[in-house]
Structure 1
Amino acid sequence: MTISMIGIDHGRAPVDIRALFAFTKKNAGEAMEQLKEKAGIYGCVILSTCNRLEIWASHEEEKELSLYQCLCELKGIEDSSYEDYFITRKDREAVSHLFHLAGGLKSQILGEDQILTQIKEALNFAREHFASDSVLEVLFRMAATVGKRIKTEAPLAHGNPSVIHQALSTLKEQGYEARGKTCMVIGNGEMGKVAAQTLRENGGDVTVTVRQYRSGIVEIPAGCKRIHYGERMEYLPQCDLVVSATASPNFTLKAEDFAQLTLERPLILLDLAVPRDIDPALSEIEGITLYDMDSFHSAGASPEQKKSIEKADRIVQEQLEEFYQWLEGRDVIPRIQEIRDDAVEDLNLRIEKILKKTPMEQEDRQKLLEAVDTAAGKVVNKLIFGLRDCLNQETFLECVAGLEKLYEE
């Protein structure tokens, strides 16, 4: 059995390339169901966020599998040149990557912890579509454990390291403050709510757009106002700053919508969505400054963060070894059971010769043989699993292989 993944992220491709391969929640579910049906694939998980797309699969070791080809089939893409933007990892390299990712070590904003939630949600969604298997279940659960440990034992960030915080920090370095500004947030999902709350905490006058059919039941962050999504263009000329963070496949702000619009003041647009929410052509309009997901990155790690990264690496290594102990133990258990059965059968053949010469009722002889079976099985288990506990993995597997040879004939 092999664990494989293919991934594209903010470090390998610009936002427009990533957008080609992004999945909505609905599409990800359908895609996992289709992947699971492919011969040789035992389980799969799709992790699709604003900054990355990863497809994970556990599959037959001998199976020739191109996850890039699978992805292109799912997305209806025939251009092979995009493959250069992807990276493929297998087994230990793949597992190590996932553990580092869960700890925030590979995020656009070093130490951000939204990825930990996204990893958990990816596994839950795979479960809902019956796409995961026992190996990916344990792998992703253990990744969540790694993320929690790093967050607790080796914190990489101080305060909130989300993209909106990084964006406001970057704007502040440029002399721009959110305090006193009129702000609109398009989208009331997780990222939209974080953006609205953050702008409010920074002193902004914040209005959130809500789809009309949901406006009566959707909660918005405390202190924020709401308008219907359809009213956004009427409200926009009053704004200093607009954030768009939706899962819409279409632009929420189009260049053509601004043709008859008169802006009362300079306008900053923050596009925190993949695919893009805001038409890139708006950056060409005088008075508008447009930022997207690739505009904000962490600065280099501080000396304190470097120490945390070293500690985080040790945590990853510990969990990596634990995962492979489980995985190799899982594979060897059927072999141990077969050795036990062969050993018990060997003992029975030997003891039956003695019992035949021992005067007793046939019923008593049968009960004695059953008791010997049970006892012999327990003794063999104790011996073999005792070896596992006191030997390193390589030596233990050599012992198992040696025991198997005893009963090959």
Structure 2
Amino acid sequence: MNIRMVGIDHDKASVEYREQFALTKHKSIEAMMKMNQVEGVEGCVVLSTCNRTEIWISHLDTFDKNLGECLCFLNGLDYYNYRQYLTQRCGIEAVEHLFNLSCGIKSKVFGEDQIITQVKDALALARENYCTNNVLEVLFRMAVTAAKKVKTEIKLTNASHSVIEEAIRHLQRKNVDLKDKVCMVIGNGEMGKLSAIALKEQGAKVTVTIRQYKSGVVEIPTGCNRINYGERMEFIRQCDLVISATASPNCTIKYEEIKNLELKDSIILVDLAVPRDIDARVNELKQVKLYDIDDFKLDITDEKRKENLEKVEDILHNQIEEFLKWYECKDIMPVVKQIADSAARDIQNRVWGASGKLNIEEESKESLEKTIQDASIKVVDKLIFGLRDSLTTDAWRECIEGMNKIYSE
């Protein structure tokens, strides 16, 4: 199976290493385009989140590059300094990884929901920029479908499924009460908005930063105040809690900018960004407590969750089998479609031959033709793929060839 991936994630690498591989949307597009220029690569998808960066390729048998070296090259890094933090997978191992990943069971916050959207968006970005191919398209779509099925049928955790929710629970375990606390959220992207909403739900007084050039068009969560991004260091003087969650490669809070400010006696800074938004040296300040994304992880040891994981494995096994069947027979799918279309035309001709004397209006006739065609294709598809489940691959292919000859003569 000519599918490979390479990635760095929270299992092997701390945020200080992961942030060096983080790719913005623009950089992801550049990376996919460069990978598609490599000899033997037929399609590429890049998945870049707070906790992982992965490059996926579909390739020819002639592809002979080290994918880890490719990932490092794209980020201007020396492979031999980072290879211990990278994981490479190919074939069925890679397929199983993506299906498990899409369900959230490989996430730092177990069972979180955001990963489904992130996988779907990664495929969409590749598709929009003509970087993916049929194999990766089907693989990612089926992984997302499987993840949705898991989410619908199984409750993986009783907790809310996001990093910010786990961050708030972590603070609550530290006896931090957020009610009426003055909070600032730096960043108004998806994570920033989730953070603002979560803080409001805890009764906090929330202010969100907005870039000045966007201040007139950007919507912020209901009940929050807004300030221009450039005013954040003045506003931070009155804050009890600051959350930074931007996609910027630059620091939003620098040590040099905050060290001489008159802050409250105690202030909590939470950095949910990768690359990190907040200069790690601010933790040296006596009134500051700094957390980053690696400080938040959900315990998954309870028995109920283990039981649910077994159910997840059953669902994923069936969904992965469906992909493997498709992959094994992907070269013959155009022939299957041709047979179904030919059979539909055959049935349609026979129906009209038998009912030619009926007086049917043209509009009704067109509607009936479409109904007959759609129903015929569905019936033929059901028969063909039903045979696939009960025959060996070789026997099924022989049947397809035989059916195709019937309509080719």
Which amino acid in the other structure matches residue 314 of structure 1?
D
Residue 78, structure 1, aligned to residue 78, structure 2: yes
Deviation of 1:390 (Å):
2.6
CA contact (8 A) 1:35 1:41 kept: yes
Separation of aligned partners in 1, 2:398 and 2:92: 21
Separation of aligned partners in 2, 1:116 and 1:335: 33
Structure ID, larger Rg: 1
CA contact (8 A) 2:240 2:264 kept: no
Which amino acid in the other structure matches residue 266 of structure 1?
S
Separation of aligned partners in 2, 1:116 and 1:384: 32
Aligned to 2:330: 330
Aligned to 2:112: 112
Residues 185/385 of structure 1: CA separation in 2 closer, same or farther (3 Å cut): closer
Give the TM-score, by structure 2 length: 0.83
Residue 35, structure 1, aligned to residue 35, structure 2: yes
Which amino acid in the other structure matches residue 274 of structure 1?
V
Aligned to 1:295: 295
SS of the residue 1:21 aligns to? coil
Separation of aligned partners in 1, 2:74 and 2:169: 38
Separation of aligned partners in 1, 2:384 and 2:204: 66
RMSD: 2.3
Residue 256, structure 1, aligned to residue 260, structure 2: no
- Please, which moves more after superposition, 189-198 or 70-79? 70-79
Which amino acid in the other structure matches residue 100 of structure 1?
N
Separation of aligned partners in 2, 1:245 and 1:384: 50
Which amino acid in the other structure matches residue 257 of structure 2?
D
Aligned to 2:182: 182
Residue 207, structure 1, aligned to residue 207, structure 2: yes
- Cα deviation, 1:355-374, whole Å, max 9, x if unaligned, reads xxxxxxxxxxxxxxxxxxxx
CA contact (8 A) 1:21 1:75 kept: yes
- Cα deviation, 1:287-343, whole Å, max 9, x if unaligned, reads 100000100001133222112111111111001110011111113558999xxxxxx
Aligned to 1:240: 240
Residues 19/110 of structure 1: CA separation in 2 closer, same or farther (3 Å cut): same
Residue 5, structure 1, aligned to residue 15, structure 2: no
How do 1:8-407 and structure 2 match up within 5 A?
Answer: 8-332=8-332, 388-393=388-393
Separation of aligned partners in 2, 1:385 and 1:143: 20
SS of the residue 1:20 aligns to? coil
Separation of aligned partners in 1, 2:394 and 2:204: 60
Which amino acid in the other structure matches residue 143 of structure 1?
A
SS of the residue 1:56 aligns to? strand
Residues 60/31 of structure 1: CA separation in 2 closer, same or farther (3 Å cut): same
Separation of aligned partners in 1, 2:128 and 2:393: 35
- Cα deviation, 1:208-261, whole Å, max 9, x if unaligned, reads 000001011111101100000000011101000000000111100000002320
Separation of aligned partners in 2, 1:400 and 1:221: 56
Residues 303/389 of structure 1: CA separation in 2 closer, same or farther (3 Å cut): closer
SS of the residue 1:167 aligns to? helix
Residues 167/400 of structure 1: CA separation in 2 closer, same or farther (3 Å cut): same
Separation of aligned partners in 2, 1:146 and 1:172: 34
Separation of aligned partners in 1, 2:318 and 2:127: 27
Percent identity reads 50
Residues 94/265 of structure 1: CA separation in 2 closer, same or farther (3 Å cut): same
SS of the residue 1:119 aligns to? helix
Which amino acid in the other structure matches residue 220 of structure 1?
I
CA contact (8 A) 2:119 2:140 kept: yes
Separation of aligned partners in 2, 1:264 and 1:8: 38
- Please, which moves more after superposition, 241-250 or 66-75? 66-75
Q: Which runs of 5+ in 2 are unaligned?
A: 338-380, 402-409
Deviation of 1:149 (Å):
0.5
**Residue correspondences, number:** 358
CA contact (8 A) 2:68 2:79 kept: no
Residues 386/151 of structure 1: CA separation in 2 closer, same or farther (3 Å cut): closer
Separation of aligned partners in 2, 1:3 and 1:294: 30
- Cα deviation, 1:139-162, whole Å, max 9, x if unaligned, reads 000011011001011121224221
Deviation of 1:79 (Å):
4.5
SS of the residue 1:268 aligns to? strand
SS of the residue 2:19 aligns to? helix
CA contact (8 A) 1:21 1:53 kept: yes
CA contact (8 A) 2:110 2:300 kept: no
- Cα deviation, 1:254-280, whole Å, max 9, x if unaligned, reads 000023201122000000000000000
Separation of aligned partners in 2, 1:287 and 1:184: 17
Deviation of 1:81 (Å):
2.2
Which amino acid in the other structure matches residue 150 of structure 2?
I
Which amino acid in the other structure matches residue 55 of structure 1?
I
Which amino acid in the other structure matches residue 172 of structure 1?
Q
CA contact (8 A) 1:240 1:265 kept: no
Deviation of 1:387 (Å):
5.9
Separation of aligned partners in 1, 2:3 and 2:222: 44
Deviation of 1:195 (Å):
0.2
Deviation of 1:393 (Å):
3.6
CA contact (8 A) 2:44 2:136 kept: yes
Which amino acid in the other structure matches residue 289 of structure 1?
K
Separation of aligned partners in 2, 1:183 and 1:209: 11
CA contact (8 A) 2:73 2:79 kept: no
Residues 335/61 of structure 1: CA separation in 2 closer, same or farther (3 Å cut): farther
- Please, which moves more after superposition, 256-265 or 226-235? 256-265
Residues 391/116 of structure 1: CA separation in 2 closer, same or farther (3 Å cut): same
CA contact (8 A) 2:41 2:57 kept: yes
SS of the residue 2:269 aligns to? strand
